[in-house]
């Protein structure tokens, strides 16, 4: 059959379709900006101003202090900085089986190299966290809870307000991986008792790849993961102690920051609630069309109720076909981009019983349309048939 024009439904991996203002901002930055905080000439000052503005925008979005916004290449970098800089040998950490390898592998490394204890809260049959297990895992040496806000496999969301309240009650640090929610779901660090919020710019924030960061609550002390040039206090033999330079060794990706800043303006003008409603409608419409197809199994806790927040993700399998084969079929014969396999979340797939088969993930974004959703649902119907 003749392939359709590209239908991009892999937004949980990256939002390939960016607002034009983001493209323009990065292009302009590439030819007009110098190195931030590395000189007093106009080009360096321009980069410094862009970085400052972007910190203020992120601080307003997540409710933290602008000078406690530290840039990193992505969520993985931010999570490594947070976990390696907060956890000490012999500490105990509580996490969940829904986590991405950007959380799991740093925890495994800390366990192997520094005798850190790790407990993982489980899920029920549809991937909902068993929140009662947080209490049962508490120990005298428990230091920190780290949780992803939404699973990148199922789209199920953790109740970070309740978990944050629990962590605060027991004097624990609370680290949140907001990779799948930053830019589409409102997050308030103060209200939710979040000590460190890790984000990436290239997903729902609609910025370019290569820029992300961590927002840090006042009073939280993170050891530098890397040390080096900062453009200030150059005669110190140690990394400067003040945020954000404490966690920002080397030249920043100011070109990416310029794009992220433009994306944040776009999000503010459009409205997070407007974006969330659009993506939620697309996700639910797709789910309603595929959930009753014979041989199709949908994973996760998906409801059509208006007041239930979740990431705009529908993951499924068709019979016993390998998820990679289904995803290839969608791409080659229908022009539909999806993500198959394990999604860097091995414990989640063990919980769902999909280790061998994987799942085919459809993830919806702001630039997708109802027509694209209908075409994707029709494709699954035909493949299942």
pLDDT at 303: 74
Structure tokens at 367: 């630039």
Domain 20-269 indexed as CATH 3.30.420.40: no
CATH topology (fold) of 7-17+271-384? 3.90.1150
- pLDDT < 70 regions, the chain: 1-4, 304-307
Please report where in the chains the tokens 């199922």 appear, as a residue: 154
Beta strands in the chain (DSSP E): 7-8, 69-72, 92-96, 117-121, 142-148, 173-177, 196-200, 212-216, 296-299, 313-318, 336-337, 360-363
- What ranges do the domains of the chain cover? 7-17+271-384, 20-269
Say if CB 183 and CB 57 are below 8 A apart: no
DSSP 191-206: TTT-SEEEEESSSTT-
DSSP 75-133: HHHHHHHHHHHH--TT-EEEEETT--HHHHHHHHHHHHHH--EEEEE-B-TTS-B-TTH
pLDDT at 305: 59
pLDDT at 38: 85
pLDDT at 241: 93
In 3D, which of 45, 82, 234 has the Cα closest to residue 173?
Answer: 82
Say if CB 148 and CB 176 are below 8 A apart: yes
Cα separations in angstroms, 364 against 163, 296, 370: 27, 19, 10
pLDDT at 3: 45
pLDDT at 121: 98
């Amino acid at each position: 059959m003749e392939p359709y024009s590209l239908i991009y439904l892999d937004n949980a991996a990256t939002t390939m379709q960016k607002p034009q203002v983001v493209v323009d901002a990065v292009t302009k930055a590439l030819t007009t900006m110098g190195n931030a905080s590395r000189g007093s000439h106009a080009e360096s000052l321009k980069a410094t101003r862009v970085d400052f503005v972007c910190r203020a925008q992120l601080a307003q979005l997540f409710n933290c202090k602008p000078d406690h916004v530290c840039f990193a290449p992505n969520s993985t970098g931010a999570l490594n900085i947070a976990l390696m800089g907060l956890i000490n040998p012999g500490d105990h950490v509580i996490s969940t089986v829904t986590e991405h390898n950007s959380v799991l592998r740093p925890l495994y490394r800390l366990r192997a190299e520094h005798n850190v204890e790790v407990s993982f809260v489980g899920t029920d049959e549809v991937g909902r966290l068993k929140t009662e297990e947080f209490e049962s895992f508490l120990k005298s040496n428990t230091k920190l809870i780290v949780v992803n806000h939404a699973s990148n496999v199922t789209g199920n969301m953790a109740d970070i307000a309740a978990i944050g309240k629990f962590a605060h009650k027991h004097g624990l640090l609370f680290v949140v991986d907001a990779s799948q929610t930053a830019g589409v779901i409102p997050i308030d660090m103060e209200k939710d008792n979040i000590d460190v919020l890790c984000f990436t710019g290239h997903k729902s924030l609609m910025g370019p790849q290569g820029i992300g960061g961590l927002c840090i609550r006042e009073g939280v002390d993170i050891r530098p993961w890397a040390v080096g040039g900062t453009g200030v206090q150059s005669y110190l033999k140690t990394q400067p102690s003040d945020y954000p330079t404490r966690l920002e060794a080397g030249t920043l990706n100011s070109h990416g920051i310029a794009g992220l800043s433009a994306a944040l303006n776009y999000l503010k003008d459009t409205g997070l609630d407007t974006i969330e409603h659009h993506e939620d409608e697309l996700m639910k419409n797709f789910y309603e069309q595929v959930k009753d197809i014979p041989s199709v199994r949908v994973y996760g806790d998906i409801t059509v109720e208006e007041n239930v927040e979740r990431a705009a993700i529908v993951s499924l399998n068709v019979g016993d076909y390998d998820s990679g084969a289904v995803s290839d079929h969608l791409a080659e014969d229908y022009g539909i981009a999806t993500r198959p396999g394990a999604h860097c979340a091995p414990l989640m797939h063990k919980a769902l019983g999909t280790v061998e088969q994987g799942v085919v993930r459809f993830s919806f974004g702001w630039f997708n349309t109802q027509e694209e959703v209908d075409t994707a649902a029709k494709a699954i119907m035909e493949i299942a048939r």
